[in-house]
Chains A and B, each alone.
Chain A
Amino acid sequence: MQPRVKAARSARLAYARSVRPYAAVTHARMPCLAVAILALGMVAGCESSGPETTVGVGGACGSVAACAPDADLTQTDNASCQPLVDDYVPGSATDGWDACISDDGLYHPFDPNISSVARVGAFEEIATLLGFGQSKVPCPQDFLDARVAYSTAEGVESRVSRREDEHYPAAPAACNAMTPAELAQYPERCVGPAQIQPLLNEAFQQGIDGIDPVRNAARIEAGLLWFFYLSSYKEAITCTTTPADCDSCYAYYTGGEPETAGLGLSRYLRDRSAQAHGRVWDGILAVRCWRDLDNPTGAATNPALRDLATAQLDRALLRGVALIVRQRVQTLPCDQAWETVQILAKVLDREAEARDPTVAAVLRTELAAPNGQAGVTVSAVVDALDSLFPCP
């Protein structure tokens, strides 16, 4: 638990010289030396003083929410689903793929040091603090600690703020070079800074201020799952030129863990469908297999094989995200679940529209019910999801 210090902006500029954690007092430990020595204090630039007050985190918290959306998870596999004919199947001699490094069913990283693993670790830390899927009502301090974990240098925030959705055409400029006004013109491609980041900012800010902690925790959960889904796919695409990005594709899904012990997004899928999780795992191995077969030490040159692998991965990931929505919508009127459904259903909309515009419209209509979750027909949503995303 981190304490927090509330301070005037002017004072915080130099929370500098005598900051001691857990204490904050007005101080002037080192007066401007010039004044003391040769009366040159006319020069501006004495070091600024420290913070003035310390406040605790108020607000009632720690109680139990009305529901826990993940309290009764069950497996949802579809026995009729089979790999497509050109899907990569580890160890299969009939899948049409040449033998490759992935055939033993394990992921073999290009580099054992995968920085993305730490970001999934941060997600799990945040999940514990905010009680993702549980009945916890997080305290403002929990949100503050979670935001610290989220905002670590080179951490989750740093990647959310630059994440682009590779499903959409590239914008005229890199999203990280755009102004907020420009970002608003490309919300789909620049999904990280344009959509996910504002969502997370608001949820953290409100959570720290003690506003609607249950819903805000759920928004953070959904926003981060959105990010990890996009990231795994994005890294598969950019692995075309940077082989080590395949490792990040794997790590953003599993947290760097083996198939049976994955963290982050893979934990969500594994808990809901071993089948979907297994197919995502196969997709990741397909990506790794492609790069093993396609100039593994340099830029890839076989876009057809890449497209096969990334399509296999994305199809499985989408099924997995759909299953999260499916499971959560069935726990309505749980508040947390409603937030998940609203946010992650939007993630599915692009592909849903592409597969069946009519059913996609049903899904959109249900989730845009004017009276919120009370107006949702759960069975209609489940049917739509099963229709749109039947198999991984």
Chain B
Amino acid sequence: MERRRPPLPRFRSPLRGPWLTSVFGAVLLATLPIVIVTGLLSYVAYGPQFGQAIPGDVGLLHLPWFDWPTSPSWLYRLTQGLHVGLGMVLVPVVLAKLWSVAPKLFAWPPVRSPAQALERLSLLLLVGGILFEIVTGLLNIQYDYVFGFSFYAAHYVGAWVFLGAFVAHVALKLPHTARALRSRSLRAELRTSVADTRPEEPDPYGLVAPDPAPPTISRRGVLALVGGGSLLVAALTAGQTVGGPLRGLAVLLPRGRTTAAADGGPNDFPVNKTFAASAIDPALLAGWALELTGGPAPVRLDLATLGAQPLHTATLPIACVEGWSTVQAWTGVRLRDLATLAGVPEPASALVRSLENGPFAQATLTRAQVLHPDALLALGVNGAPLSPDHGYPARVVVPALPGVHNTKWVRAIEFRSP
């Protein structure tokens, strides 16, 4: 069989071996669950109980249902910032892990037993799953929908395909990983220079090169290279979530910038969908009045009347699914005061509708989201009226709510009774 081996690539790096692979594997085992869980939490945060999480029907594949909390207000900022930020920081580790096991791809003969055939199929799902999630995720946070299909649906399904393969891979490999990690001392490796770098012991997995080339880099160097890659990505990503003066560090991301004006004014923070893109007829704003329904009779409040209500200011984040966020001081009328005005002081939920049309032109809020003392129909931000891009004349801002559900250009709110 070996004699009939086709001219497949030969791998000669003296660094590949079970120990190095296990180091990368251990890092991913410790961190990927955070990316997975925060991603699944985002699905819950979108409010699947109101049919507004995408994809709509996921059968059994979801976390246990619970009402997404309103406290702490930075909850979604944290979970989604971690999901995107950590997911990106792990890209160099994933690539290093795949590099370290590259000889297995070209193992000859390709299949030795049914067990191995099944395992290779599962590895296709594992590798395909993680790469698919990375590619679709990276495209989505840069608003590149070149793939054409629904990002939400594809990313969610891809996650479960990966998760199954990941759990199986860990179950089958963990004992090997533990053994391999004990085979060398990390501390000793971190003190070993290139000149003293030797290949690992011959292994049963086919990772250690049978005919190793002389080393050009130490294991310490490879770990520094991968860690440095992760630090570079972290430096280029953190700013979009942390915001403030650090935002500008995200030089290659759309959310590393605020607005085209960049004037440092009260409305100079990242926009999620511009007024122009909303396709709202500006004429609708002139005679604008908020409509509150659900009570004995509809209530209409024009902007002057709304502004004369008791106003409350709260410092709250807008945190989006793309992982970026921005914290601003919003001023407006409490949603619970509007509920009282509408005649439904104890609503079970509230449906907020925008002047715009489209998939995110409305959002349902839970009872807790309506009644939270910081949940606002904001009329202003940082002491100024909202700009058209930020939702003038009025927008919803609710603690810990995913950004896209903080509806802008609000037209009507329907308070639903229990």
Say whether A and B bind each other. no
